Structure 1
Amino acid sequence: MLAYALKNEVGFTLNKARSLASYFADIKDFLEFQEENIKNLKSISGKSVLKLTDEEITNLSIYRESGSLSAELTVAENYLAIISRVFTQKQLNMVRNLSLKNLNPNPFLIRALNLDTPDAVVRLNVYMAATRSIVTSMGFFIEDLLLTSSDTVEKAPNKSGWDLVKTTSDGEKFWLQIKSGPNNMDKDQVVYWAEKIQEKVKEGDKAYIGFTYGKRTSKTVTIGLLKQILPDWEMQTLIGKELWNFLSEDSDYSSKLFEVLRKSAHQILHQNSLSEEIDSCANRVTDEFIQDFGDGHQGVSNYINSIF
């Protein structure tokens, strides 16, 4: 956990982060370090094995004092908070680094959608770029959250086709196919996973289709298909809270998870939301567009003529 934090939140290389993290017994030990004690870390024989620059030591001290890590939280809770902050920071950086060059607005889309002002052109393209990035990152983020929910949960073998496997202390295995929400499966997918579940049951294991959010009462096409096709569908699915609480073996885990997400987002965004950051980005890039190509309908025409 500490190595992950040092790499992703402080900026150390992976190898240096791992080496440095190994010198601390726990989070409390890290939070109490003295700068003079880590300038030149040595092995038992007295050989220098890790030397930190003044800048690295300063960055470590700033991170320690930031409140990002807490001795009051478990390792798992700290790790969950770090994962959340890293995700939010990545999205914030993406939005703040967007420029007109990054967007490269499509001239056909401009004309087909009647985007006849720089603001209209830029705002739509900023929203599309931000959405693509967030959606791409979201899958990995959710996977990390699921894997962090318990030490008994891990990625399923690649060739198995399953997403996760939970193994209890007595060796019982639970295989899970994860879907985002309760309307993300068509008939062919439901039929396929109904067969895969039966295969695992015959092998003596248990298997589920898990949905990261939603409720059984949701009136969606997927829920309807599950009822029709999947035998004992209520016993073979974990939906929303059921999934998170099952994996973590904590009946209140989902509530704790959302609180961690909220606090972590606040640490990165403070009083703003990412939506506000996207609006600010659109305003900034619109100014860039006008500076390069002019304002109004003519500015849009100038842009199109410059690339087509």
Structure 2
Amino acid sequence: MLAYALEKEVGFSKKRARSLASYFANIEDFLNVEEQRIKNIKSVSGQTTFRLTDDEIARISAFQISGGLSPQLTVAENYLAIISRVFTKTQLDMVRKLSLADLNPNPFLIRALNLDTTEKVVRLNVYMAATRSIVTSMGFFVEKLLLTTSDNLEKPNKRESGGWDLVKTTSEGERIWLQIKSGSNNMDKDQIEYWAKKIQEKANEGERGYIGFTYGKRTNNTVTIGLLKQVLPEWEMKTLIGRELWDFLSEDPDYSSQVFTILRESAQKILDQHSISEEIEECTKRITQEFVQKYGDGTQGISNYMEAIF
């Protein structure tokens, strides 16, 4: 956990982050270490084994007092907070770095959707670009969130994965296989039929397999829920939907509530009292000005852009 924080939030390389983290027994040890002691980390024999630059020391000191690590939280909770902040900051940086060149507005969409002002053109394309990035990152982010739920949960190795996303090993040594989907409306009939066979294969091997949905409820009136009832035998016993999934993996009925609390607090550390939507609006204003400076304003500006690219 500390190595991940040093890499992602303090800016160390993965190798140096791991090396530095290995010198600390726990979070308190790291938070309480004084600058003088960290300048020249020594081995048992007294030899300097790890040298830090003044800039690295300054970054460590800033991180120590930032509140990024809390001795009141468990290692898992601190790790959850870190990956949440990293995700939020990645999306914030993406929005703030967007430029007109990144958007490349599609002329066919401009005409087909009657985008008749520069602001409308830019706003739609900023939201499209931001959404693509967030959706792409979200899958990896949620997988990391799931992996924090239990020390007994891991990604299966490639040789035996067979398409399964996660495997949980119980205290009795039983392996439970999980195929993870986002919400409870993300599977079609062919996918359900495929995973029904995979679940049966695991049952034949004396193991369990589930389809897990990270959010939703069994009572949701979605196409996927309807198909599960029709296609997956004993579907209630072979699916984990929403809170059921998080409770099953963590074996803690309060875990999902803790996740949302940590997510909110982590987002506030990065965004303060703002939201990513407000950042997208600021980005829209900035790129609209860029568009006007390059192509002009109003319908003439749009026409100038169309002529420039088509």
2:102 aligns with 102
Matches within 5 A, 1:143-154: 143-154=143-154
2:236 aligns with 234
Encode CA deviations 1:187-230: one digit per residue, 9 max, x unaligned.
11111111111110111111111000000101111111111121
- Corresponding residue to 1:172 among 168, 171, 174: 174
Aligned-partner Cα distance in 2 for 1:56–1:276: 33
Aligned-partner Cα distance in 2 for 1:39–1:157: 40
Relative to the length of structure 2, the TM-score reads 0.97
- Give unpaired runs (5+ residues) of structure 1: none
Aligned-partner Cα distance in 2 for 1:258–1:11: 27
Any idea what SS the aligned residue of 1:162 has?
coil
Code of the aligned partner of 2:121: V
2:184 aligns with 182
Any idea what SS the aligned residue of 1:234 has?
helix
Encode CA deviations 1:141-172: one digit per residue, 9 max, x unaligned.
00000111110100123342111000012201
Note if 1:34 corresponds to 2:34.
yes
Code of the aligned partner of 2:275: S
Encode CA deviations 1:23-72: one digit per residue, 9 max, x unaligned.
11100001101001111222223333221111111111111101110001
Aligned-partner Cα distance in 2 for 1:62–1:168: 40
Aligned-partner Cα distance in 2 for 1:98–1:62: 28
Note if 1:278 corresponds to 2:272.
no
Code of the aligned partner of 1:199: E
- Corresponding residue to 1:266 among 257, 265, 268: 268
Relative to the length of structure 1, the TM-score reads 0.98
Code of the aligned partner of 2:152: T
Aligned-partner Cα distance in 2 for 1:168–1:52: 42
Aligned-residue RMSD, C-alpha: 1.0
How far residue 87 of structure 1 moved from its aligned partner, in angstroms, is 0.3
Any idea what SS the aligned residue of 2:119 has?
helix
Matches within 5 A, 1:47-62: 47-62=47-62
1:124 aligns with 124
How far residue 118 of structure 1 moved from its aligned partner, in angstroms, is 1.1
Aligned-partner Cα distance in 2 for 1:228–1:99: 48
Any idea what SS the aligned residue of 1:166 has?
strand
Any idea what SS the aligned residue of 2:50 has?
strand
Aligned-partner Cα distance in 2 for 1:87–1:302: 38
Aligned residues: 308
